[in-house]
Amino acid sequence: MKKILTILMALTLALSLSVPAYAESDYDTPIEITWMIPTQQSISLGESVPTQILLEKFNIQVNWIELNPVDQHPEKLNLLLASQQLPDVVSWVDKDFAARYGDEGAFLEITPYLASNFPNLSVVVNEESSAYYSAYTLDDQLWYIPIWERTSGPNWGWSINKEAFEEVGYPVESLNTFADYKAALEALKAAYPDSYPLAARASEYDISNFLSSFIIPFTKGMANYSVMGFDYEQKTWSVAANISGYKEALMYINELYTEGLLDPEFLTCDMNTLILMLANDQAFATVDYVGGLSGVGDVQSQVNDVLYPIEWPSPSVDEESIMGTKAIALGSTGTVLSANIMDDPEKFERVCAMLDYMYSDEWYDILYNNSDILTDDGTTYVEGYYVDSDNLRDLYIPWALYACFQDDPLRVDVEPGTAWSDFSIKWGNEWTDRLVDNIIMPFDTDTQTEINDLTNSVQDYWSANVMQFVIGRTDFSEWDTFVEGLMNAGGTQLEQIYNDFYQELYGD
Amino acid sequence: MLKKHRNKNLGRAKLLYIMLLFPVVWYILICYVPMFGIAIAFQKYSVYKGVFGSEWVGLQNFRKFLNDAYFWQVLRNTFLLGFFNLLINFPLPIILALMFNELSSGPYKRVTQTISYLPYFVSTVALVSIITSILSPSRGVVNAIIESLGGTPISFMLEPDWFRPIYILLSAWRGTGWGTIIYLAAMAGINPELYQVAEIDGAGRFRRIWNITLPSIAPTITILFLLAIPGILGADFETVLLLQKPLTLNVSDVMATYVYRRGLQDQKFDYATAVSLTFSIISMLIIFVSNTIARRKGDVSLW
């Protein structure tokens, strides 16, 4: 008897050890789905710990279609739409795309099922009511399951060689305004005459991102790289180049360029060249994508760990002004369900339950508070997040699962106490009094198409002419002619459309 | 009798016709059947609804780009780039082939020819990277020479005036060696006795080239020229896209990059198809006219 009991207990123990902690499935019958999701993983998404927990909980087997989010994903999605063989679930779709093809019958409208099948998401939508139109269409239709960005901040910012700046008498604390930065760059140029203190790699990223890092603070958040900007004082929309501070931003960059403070080859510079310049004291600062996964944080070790990310707020016109707009908490992209999923009610119910679960606090803990990688002070430390051991990061915090549902990038930190960690923690979390609300303009499909056509024309003209001012080929005395050209290219019609719509939706 | 004769020929050539069947079927399936997609140019196309389900809008897409002031600039850029490219890069392989033909057979000739072919096999991305490095104002060899001669470095890649020369230079570097192959093959077919007789008559090297070699390969030159002419409106997309910079957009934005941007990036497939169709029709007209002129002026034409 004792022997039998011992064997039974041993078997029970062995069985319990073989089953992961959360793996008690709520469902007996497995189902199979196809899920198209953007990933930048070094291992298959299915091998990640949170993924396994999720799929075991709901007893779902997934045929993954994993694609690079930048080019492969949209191309493949178009092919699948054309072939009418959509996967059951497609993540990383923007609202306009979802609404357009949802209207045509490709995707399932979520609105009728929100309360019944998505209780967690319903709570989120209610909490983020100010972002209603970022997820809903003007006709109050919800065509996708929107991303919930719990925290957010600027993706682009200044990174400097802290030691070099201190060497010339400009410690980090002294760098607040653009005037401070220029003075520091001038001091660096004097100390290192063969250098170009500020470098950038505009050949790899659209020049718009580089310019936005100046335009946004100079216009006090009224404009960025987009064609249109919103004057929150006048409550009017106008072509961005017309907004106060836009020209001044370009003039500032022009000064840096003509005085030899900005690398004259920044328009053709790539990451490898940038790394060499930063590592060899040929440059001491850059304005770049600060995040991991192809940002300067990723290449820290390659520049001999000299880079120090400037915390938010980065340089501004003065120390009090508005720095930009708050991120929209809901719906920059989302997940759609194929309309065909309704052919299998059980599959539909299960998938909804799974996707809704990903907005719960329990899922948040699984993703962001995994005890295997939690530090003593409660932060998530993924060793070598930026540089080494991609596998470890992808194993515990797969980008696709947090970037497509409950997105809290501030939880995904590097080693606590490092400059990058400090940056991540403060990234958009503090100084929110220097941000204004984003104005959401939920145009209908036809209006959006008209806007896109006009924007393309204006954008073409802008792209061909704006850099002429920056490098001094066109004098700023011809700025009005440039703005007139933008208006003639479609800016006038755009202003009309935007202001009419704004008045109709938000007017007194 | 005639039918019997024809059937006999058919029987003899049965295997040849079977061999011909596969490329013909391939052409029909890959090149001709998809042509029905031209209908997209006349639709408000939806990827989901497809060609048979999308709404017909007639010439709306054509009207859109004909009324777009920027389109005419793109057309001008395309034509100028293609014209100058043809003007400079068409004769170069002929000249190089003539030079190779004058070399006596041996390892030097073989090595030189092989080296001339090599750039053709290098990827466009690598070639553009190389030329960017060579022309770099601070790190490039060209500007180093300019500086050593007392000049000011030039940002070649950012100057609109330099875009076309760089594109033509890159095309020449890449395609000249490869282009000599067909001409050398044509020259190999020239009767060597002609050269011997000319030499006896006292003709020098250049006289022999002018009076024997060139006339002998004239049909080849004509055919290749007729095939090259439509390329005036078809710049090499990859090269242009890689060389293109915001500062050179006024000059470098050609039809291929315009269609790529508006069609693929902005997902305006209907608009892009309308633009491409228009350019294809223009190219077809050009080749028809050229062929007619060639047929009337000489014995050589494509058809």
Per-residue pLDDT of chain A (508 residues; tens, 9 = 90+): 666 655 555 554 444 444 444 456 778 899 999 999 998 777 889 989 999 999 999 999 999 999 887 778 888 898 999 998 999 999 999 998 999 999 999 999 999 999 999 999 999 998 888 888 999 999 999 999 999 988 766 667 788 999 999 999 999 889 989 999 999 999 999 999 999 999 998 776 668 888 988 999 999 989 988 899 999 889 999 999 999 999 999 999 999 999 999 998 898 888 888 888 999 999 999 988 765 545 666 666 677 777 887 766 678 888 778 878 877 788 778 999 999 999 999 999 999 999 999 999 999 988 888 877 776 666 665 554 544 455 677 888 888 888 889 888 766 655 555 666 566 555 555 667 788 888 899 998 889 989 988 998 898 889 888 989 998 989 999 999 999 999 999 999 999 999 999 999 988 6
B139 three-class SS: coil
CB contact under 8 A, A463 and B245: no
Per-residue DSSP letters for A343-408?
GSHHHHHHHHHHHHHTTSHHHHHHHH--TTSB-TTS-EE-TTSSSS-HHHHHHHS-HHHHHTTEE-
* Mean pLDDT within B72-99: 93
Checking if the pLDDT of B213 tops 90, the result is yes
Sign for the pseudo-dihedral over CA of A400, A402, A405, A410? negative
CB contact under 8 A, A268 and B69: no
Interface test with B, best of A75, A272, A460, A466 (most B CBs within 10 A): A460
At A170, give phi and psi (nearest 5°): -130, 80
From CA B169, how far away is CA B88, in angstroms rounded? 9
CB contact under 8 A, A265 and B68: no
Secondary element (H or E) of residue B183: helix B160-188
Q: What are the structure tokens assigned to B269, written together?
A: 């497939």
CB contact under 8 A, A207 and B138: no
From CA B22, how far away is CA B24, in angstroms rounded? 5
Would you report the helix, strand and coil content of chain A in percent, each value rounded to 5? 50, 15, 35
In chain B, the percentage of residues whose pLDDT exceeds 90 is: 60
How close does chain A come to B51, measured CA to CA in Å? 9
Length of chain B: 303
Residue B140: list chain A partners with CB under 8 A.
none
B24 three-class SS: helix
Residue A338 has a pLDDT of: 96
Residue A21 has a pLDDT of: 45
Query: Does this complex have an ipTM over 0.95?
Result: no
pLDDT higher at B34 or A21: B34
**Cross-chain CB nearest to B70 (options A78, A265, A460):** A460
Lowest pLDDT segment from A244-248, B13-17, B183-187: B13-17
Residue A102: list chain B partners with CB under 8 A.
none
Confidence of residue B92 (pLDDT cuts 50, 70, 90): very high
CB B89 within 8 A of CB B228: no
At B219, give phi and psi (nearest 5°): -60, -40
CB contact under 8 A, B48 and A463: no
Numbered residues of chain B with Cβ closer than 8 Å to any chain A Cβ: 46-50, 64, 68-70, 132, 136-138, 155, 157-158, 245-247, 249-250, 253, 262, 266-267
* Mean pLDDT within B191-209: 91
From CA A82, how far away is CA A263, in angstroms rounded? 45
Fill in the DSSP letter of residue B40: G
CB contact under 8 A, B158 and A268: yes
Q: What are the structure tokens assigned to B143, written together?
A: 């500007």
CB contact under 8 A, B262 and A456: yes
pLDDT higher at B134 or A292: B134
From CA A396, how far away is CA A413, in angstroms rounded? 13
At a CB cut-off of 8 Å and minimum separation 6, what does A86 contact? A80, A106, A107, A338, A340
How close does chain A come to B258, measured CA to CA in Å? 10
CB contact under 8 A, A464 and B253: yes
Residue A290 has a pLDDT of: 67
Per-residue DSSP letters for A44-96?
-GGGSHHHHHHHHHHTEEEEEEEE-TTTHHHHHHHHHHHHT---SEEEEE-HH
Residue A207 has a pLDDT of: 81
Secondary element (H or E) of residue B294: helix B269-297
**Cross-chain CB nearest to B247 (options A105, A267, A461):** A267
* Mean pLDDT within B229-253: 87
CB B237 within 8 A of CB B256: yes
